[in-house]
Amino acid sequence: MKIYGIIGWKDSGKTSLMERLVTQITGRGFSVSTVKHVHHDVDLDRPGKDSYRHRVAGASEVVLASAHRFALMREHRGPEPELPQILARMAPVDLILVEGYKRDKHQKIEVWRRETGQEMIQPHDPLVRAVATDAAGVAPLGVPILDLNDTAAIADFILNELNLRAV
């Protein structure tokens, strides 16, 4: 499986770009899955629900299954799992797009918007292969500067970087 990251500071537009990239790349015939890193606790359950009761009773994994999808919840009861552990549990696809995990060791595009008030990550991370921005007048970088609003061009860049070709 090929992995490519979308990183940036809070409110830079990462999730909007991820959504557009999934649509763009699946529209070209590739299978895509996503991983999103969050800094808060994730819980699909509610007290009193059967699956919640299973987890509280000590189940390591609980699956909620229906006719159209299933959700697997795994209790790790320890440190946060690292990205490779998460990726190892995923079903094979052509591409996994990863939102966040900015310090991990995979190729990435940084989404940067001047209005966040944050410095670019790219100058300090050689794995940032391009910067996607809507800001005018960005000083030249050692990597391509992509138009944040040109999803097709960003998808082309990622697919070319990973040598993924439509069948």
Domain assignment of residue 53, yes or no:
no
* Residue 143, domain extent: 2-39+79-161
Query: What mean pLDDT is predicted for residues 138-165?
Result: 96
Domain assignment of residue 65, yes or no:
no
Domain assignment of residue 61, yes or no:
no
Query: What mean pLDDT is predicted for residues 93-117?
Result: 95
Domain assignment of residue 71, yes or no:
no
Number of domains the chain contains: 1
E strands, the chain, in order = 2-7, 32-36, 61-65, 70-74, 95-99, 108-112, 128-133, 145-147
Domain assignment of residue 54, yes or no:
no
Please report, for residues 80, 82, 98, the alpha-carbon distance to residue 86 in angstroms, rounded to integers and kept in the order given. 10, 7, 11
Is pTM beyond 0.95 here?
no
Over the stretch 27-48, which tens digit does the pLDDT of each residue have?
999 999 999 987 656 666 778 8
Domain CATH for 132: 3.40.50.300
Domain assignment of residue 45, yes or no:
no
Mean pLDDT, all residues of the chain: 91
Task: Find tokens 């299973």 and name the residue.
Answer: 54
In contact, 109 and 6? CB cutoff 8 Å:
yes
Query: What mean pLDDT is predicted for residues 57-74?
Result: 87
pLDDT, position 51: 85
